[in-house]
Chains A and B, each alone.
Chain A
Amino acid sequence: MKKEELNFEKSDDFNLTMIPGSFAKKMRTCVIWQFIRFVAINIKMIIVVQKSH
């Protein structure tokens, strides 16, 4: 049974969207990957801040 797929049948609205699978969910809390994303998001945010001033 794929736990992450159970919600599709809970409502018509849910059935028509996308739900992350186990790999995508794991990556959200994988400390090494998230550290890389932390650096990337910070760089992007700093650029947005600079472009905004």
Chain B
Amino acid sequence: MARLVVLGGGVAGHTTATFAAKWLGSEHEVVVVTPNSKWNWIPSNIWVGVGQMSKEEVTFDLAPVYAKAGITYYQAKAVSLNPEGNESTDKSFVTIEYTEAGKEGQSETIEYDYIVNATGPKLNFDATPGLGDGNGQMGDNTVSVCTADHAVHASHELAKAIEKMKGGTRQKFLIGTGHGMCTCQGAAFEYIFNIEHELNKAGVRDMADMKWISNESFLGDFGMGGLHMKVGGYVVSSKLFAESLFAERNVEWLIGAHTSKVEPGKVSYELLDGTMGEEEFDFAMLIPPFAGVGLKAYAKDGADITDTVFAPNGFMKVDANYGAGAYENWKASDWPRTYQNPTYANMFAAGIAFAPPHIISKPMSSPNGTPINPTPPRTGMPSGIIGKAVAHSVCDLMTKGENAHLHEASMAEMGAACVASAGKGVFSGTAAAMTVYPVVPDFEKYPGTGRDTDYTFGEIGLAGHWIKHILHHLFIYKAKLNPGWTLIPE
């Protein structure tokens, strides 16, 4: 019997573990190590953040689901990897630290034959002074929707702001990115329009000034260098699409901005042209930059080999081309296909945890040398597809031997569907439904826009909104492993 250990029970890790458990049956063991007791459908945190959903509606307990799937579950966080074992064992192992109530802080090691790192992002609030609390958590100056608890807090702050407006006090809303190297602009984009919708519903929109602040060099970059889509017989840039939406909803924008400091009611920023500025706010939701979760790696003799296994940003190295060099040399083929670690063949990374070869947007920096560009998004659909491909590979390695063919899932050959809602009511909400194919543009295959414009499209309306509702229920149904779950695509 061999053992697969999956680190992280989020979108990618849950997909890997549940498919591996199904395909391997009881002949092999699947273990999940994840610090939370609950699974969270993160995209719906947006609705929690405006008070339209409760935390309970977007989360569920993991333990019964893993028990049903025959998965061994540790409520713990991985701390370090020993891919070669140590002085007393030749077997690879991971050191974990429990987060489960009653066992907090206790350490243990788990041996593995194969390991998948799907630990997602560290929400690196402290990268921007005042955005974090100095201890790795969110500070008091802004709110976030990155976790369900953050979103609950955001909804309370929003309710207070709405009360103030009802009492006659104008409020300034500042939503966007909290650092020059952030990703996940889509989530902030969705949040600002959900707030706008709620303010309209509450009858206080005219008491609110709304502003978007982002590290994108143009509105609609979304960390993907923007996209071109067919609208009304034209092929147009997402810049026009995004600017139109902001103008229609009377939301101003400040782009090419590195948020350098956050203080109570005020952010300081540096722009791509080198100018510095300040923006005041009453309510701010600024996405933190992402980093790897800080796993360490040690060789058999105890030497620190973290730099061998992980990139400087903390994400795990995989089969990507990390030596692509300047922007002009970037190719779709730089992007990883199997997600296998180049040094240790029994180690894979899936979802946000893998180190991308480079960013997707054009690299930019201010004259002062401050990099201000979005880092690449790895949204739900790619994370799930990669998680499944990695599960396939590991299962084949375990059942067919170490020469088994590895399954491939390159972000330069896969699409992503994104639905950004603006409001939750079945007939009152609308949403921008978007698909992009492929996520990483391939200018050799699709000269001009880098993407297939038949399958890269976006439109606003109730239809996208209904899809968002359906996806919410479908993905939670699937993650709970309810009957037919394998038929629902990632």
Contacts and interface: CB of A to CB of B under 8 A. Distances in A.
Interface in A1-49: 4, 7-8, 10-11, 13-14, 16-20, 27-29, 31, 33-35, 37-38, 41-42, 44-45, 47-49
Given A13-B253, A37-B461, A52-B415, A44 B240 contact: no
Contacts of A45: 417, 435, 467
A43 to B, nearest CB: 11
Contact of A34 (B247, B417, B462, B490): B462
Contact of A41 (B388, B413, B464): B464
A29 B427 contact: yes
Interface stretch (B287-295, B321-329, B395-403, B452-460): B452-460
A5 to B, nearest CB: 11
Interface residues of A, number: 31
A interface secondary structure, majority: helix
Nearest to A18: B244
Chain B interface residue bracket vs A? 20 to 34
A28 B247 contact: no
Given A8-B247, A19-B244, A48 B430 contact: no
Contacts of A11: 247, 252
A48 B415 contact: yes
B430 A41 contact: no
B239 to A, nearest CB: 9
B426 to A, nearest CB: 10
Given A14-B247, A17-B244, A53-B385, A37 B489 contact: no
A23 to B, nearest CB: 12
Given A7-B248, A37-B463, A31 B427 contact: yes
Contacts of A47: 455
Contacts of A31: 427, 462
Interface of A: 4, 7-8, 10-11, 13-14, 16-20, 27-29, 31, 33-35, 37-38, 41-42, 44-45, 47-49, 51-53
